Structure 1
Amino acid sequence: MSRASSLFQLWQTPPNRLLFKSSNFYKGIYVVPGAKIYRPLCSCKSIQTTSYQVVNGSYVPTTQAKQEIKPTEKSSAELENIGAFQKLPMVMPSFDILYSALRKAKRVPATKGIANIAKRERNRGAKQLDALMKELAVPLRTYLEKFPKKRSLHPYERSLIELTLGDGNYEEVLGRVDALRKKVVSVGKEHASLCAKSLSKREAEERLSEGMKKIEEMFNREGKAVEDLLNIAKTLRSMPVVDLETPTLCLVGAPNVGKSSLVRVLSTGKPEICNYPFTTRGILMGHILSSYQNFQVTDTPGLLKRSDEDRNNLEKLTLAVLSHLPTAILYVHDLSGECGTSPSDQFVIYKEIKERFCDHLWLDVVSKSDLLKESPVTFITEDFDDNDLELAKYRKSGPDGAIRVSLKSEIGLNELKGRVHELLRLQMARIQAQDTKEENRQVLT
């Protein structure tokens, strides 16, 4: 038996035969906190209202609710905050929404005091269709209001949405949820109106049954939009929260050069470590506690030698972190030949990133130093100029001032930790100076 037919049989079962107390489905009600209490609008006349909003368990026309609760526009300062993904609402599965709506709508009685049987039946049918419409439309409307518009997000979070979900997918899913809500309201109004115009008890019952079945089939058919929204909410809530006021160390370099291993050594972060490119599939966050101060450490996907147009979403995620977050950079080089990217290609990537983000505080590290040999590792595919002294020097020992470390032999780890702490303290001073400058600017304006 299909899910749609089983729910339809549930609708036709008399109330005294339903054992709702044993159900494991959600029994809550959608409430807008902090709003005033209004008398429920369940008459046929209220069906003609364009849209509704739940206020303390009662249904109020959206236009009326907006008069009572005027939305405030977000200031430019609010747009620069990060953490919108942790405020996303909990999205119920579409089946749970439908089951709960059918159960509640069936309990709606006819208005008391109607003696005529036909009139009482069409009143009950119209009210139940109206209730079903609202119980389905209100949670969908709540999701649309609670999921932020991309233009109101911090640039870093906008980049996360585009690179993690795919360009345009976020808006497309929200659009489908809104389209489903509009169809529910339209079909519900239409059949409630037909039921209210019934001439007999039997006709009212038939129109009620027909309307319920049509709404249920439509919601089952197009409810995948709700499931997609649920998956989006799970994905976005799993994103690490970055505090803009906390100094952040961002590890950058080619794939498989040892960034994740260093994150494990330097911080509380526990990223996956494997011997293949692009082990890091997203932004991973760890923390460092030094002198009673908390610092952040991010592990990022590796960068390859290619133009921005050819970069994949993982590489673009790394560039988004560097572009939109106030970070200090720990650039990791692997000259041992183990990472799969030749030293010559790493040199090209390094020069490009160093030039693009020259305003960032910077520290260079040569990893796997226990594997380095006296002569530079040469790849068959390498094509470099022997007269390029800077490249020749890089291939042998890395950039000037780079710290040589080895996790296997623990060479240079203490020096690295000390330099990292110093770098993060400088980053803290830079952030505080920037905050002071911003406060003074606001005072003057």
Structure 2
Amino acid sequence: MIAMAALSGSPFRGMVIAPADVSEIVEPALRRSRRATVRLSRVTLKSMRLVHRRRIELMADYIVRRLSAIYRTTPYIPELHPFYRELASLLVDVDDLRRRLAKLKAATKVIRKIERDCLVMVRAAERRGDLMRARRAFLGRVLSVLEDLKEDLRAIREYQLRLLKVPDIDPELHTIVVAGPPNVGKSSFVRRVSTAEPEVREYPFTTKSLILGHVIIDDLYVQVIDTPGLLDRPLSERNEAELQAILALKHLAGVIVFLVDPSQTCGYDVQYQVRVYREVREHFSQTPILVCLNKVDVASREQVGAAKSLMEGDVIEMSVATGLNVDLVLARALRLLGVPDYYVAKLSASEQRSLSRRSSSS
């Protein structure tokens, strides 16, 4: 089944972000309540009751609507796709977020009860002073509730802003995950073959989170994900960036493009890089892996040969810098995803020439 142009994306992008301070809720609510007027020929106790009732209702409605929007639009993380569920657990304290959102929901019920209590006071008012006391009671009790939510709103906002940084990855779309140790050329490869524009630097650990790009051929969309560099160490010692890479490999990869730098200009010897590759192959044995020796333009033939001797199976020599076999790697990845030849044939003329050269030499 080929995934077409209907992209779902991150479940977090529709969130209503909690305000930085409760004043961002209180002040607009007060402004709205002051607009309540009743047009009558003369001011009576009855007309004043209507005005105070309307002011209380307007303020309560606005505050409840603001708080409700926050907890209703923040996804219930346990029900998300496993990739987003585990990624959210990596980025935020999911249990704490859930508790704080539940507190917001409970607060809306308390505010509605305060509203009902104070409206009873308004209906029972016998003089203007009674109406003022009812409204002051409403304001005081509601402000106390909101003050109690101050820290919760701040924490929810911080969690939401972290979740908003998650790229719009569609777990149901065909996906190429590019992996390897730091500084082997992953970001350069993703930049070259997709719409992504990751930061590229001549030092390791530039990529600190997942970066998403797309290969678009007519109505076909294929995701290409640039992952942070992986190091040869136990899972318990991996940092947040590495764990994001592992989640992408675990839940998203239809094919893995694993890059190795035989020139060792990445800062890691080939033996080290091969150990990282073998760990990936062991843990994700059900996913096709394309192994590419990048930077062959700066590596010696001895270095390339030594790297090949340590790898099992077919290895593609590639140079992102010069473009050597980059298009071949992309075409092979697309075919491993099950993309029909029709779409591969729609690649650029340079890609077709690369494929032809490969076919004639095999």
TM-score bracket relative to the smaller structure: 0.7 to 0.9
Q: Which amino acid aligns with 2:317?
A: R
User: Could you say which residue in structure 2 is the equivalent of 1:419?
Assistant: 329
Residues 295, 311 of structure 1: alpha-carbon distance in 2 compared, 3 angstrom cutoff: same
CA drift at 1:173: 4.0
Whichever residue aligns with residue 11 of structure 2, its letter is F
The residue identity in structure 1 corresponding to 2:243 is: K
Query: Structure 1 residues 274, 425: closer, same or farther in 2, change over 3 A?
Result: same
* Deviation of the 1:272 alpha carbon: 0.9
Q: Are 1:358 and 2:285 matched, yes or no? A: yes
Distance 1:190 1:311, change over 3 A: farther
| Mapped partners of 1:275, 1:399: distance in 2 | 29
Match of 1:102 among 30, 47, 53: 30
1:168 aligns to what SS in structure 2?
helix
Confirm or deny that 1:146 pairs with 2:73: yes
Task: State the secondary structure of the residue aligned to 1:98.
Answer: helix
Report if aligned partners of 2:187, 2:226 keep a CA contact under 8 Å in 1. Answer: yes
Residues 150-299 of structure 1: matches in 2 within 5 Å?
150-216=77-143, 218-219=145-146, 222-223=149-150, 225-226=152-153, 228-230=155-157, 232-244=159-171, 246-289=173-216, 293-299=220-226
Paired residues of 1:266 and 1:288 also in contact (CA < 8 A): yes
| Aligned CA distance change for structure 1 residues 214 and 293 (closer, same or farther; 3 Å) | closer
Name the structure, 1 or 2, with higher relative contact order (CA <8 Å, separation 6+).
Answer: 2
Corresponding letter in the other structure for 1:404? E
Indicate whether 1:88 and 2:14 are aligned.
yes
Q: Does the CA contact (< 8 Å) of 1:126 and 1:195 recur in 2?
A: yes
SS in 2 for 1:85: coil
Mapped contact 2:10–2:168 kept (Cα < 8 A): no
1:294–1:214 CA distance, 2 compared to 1 (3 A): closer
Aligned length: 332
1:70 alignment counterpart:
none
Aligned-residue Cα RMSD (Å) equals: 3.5
1:328 positional shift? 0.7
Higher alpha-carbon deviation: 359-368 or 161-170: 161-170
Aligned partners of 2:217, 2:325: CA distance in 1, in Å?
Answer: 15
**CA distance in 2 between partners of 1:291 and 1:182 (Å):** 51
2:240 maps to amino acid: N
> What percent of counterpart residues are identical?
24
Distance 1:232 1:238 in 2: 10
- Which TM-score applies when normalising by structure 2? 0.76
Report if aligned partners of 1:403, 1:416 keep a CA contact under 8 Å in 2.
no
Distance 2:119 2:215 in 1: 61
- Structure 2's unaligned 5+ residue stretches are 1-6, 341-362
Letter in 2 for 1:267: S
Q: Which residues of structure 1 form unaligned runs of 5+?
A: 1-80, 378-391, 431-445
| Mapped contact 1:248–1:327 kept (Cα < 8 A) | yes
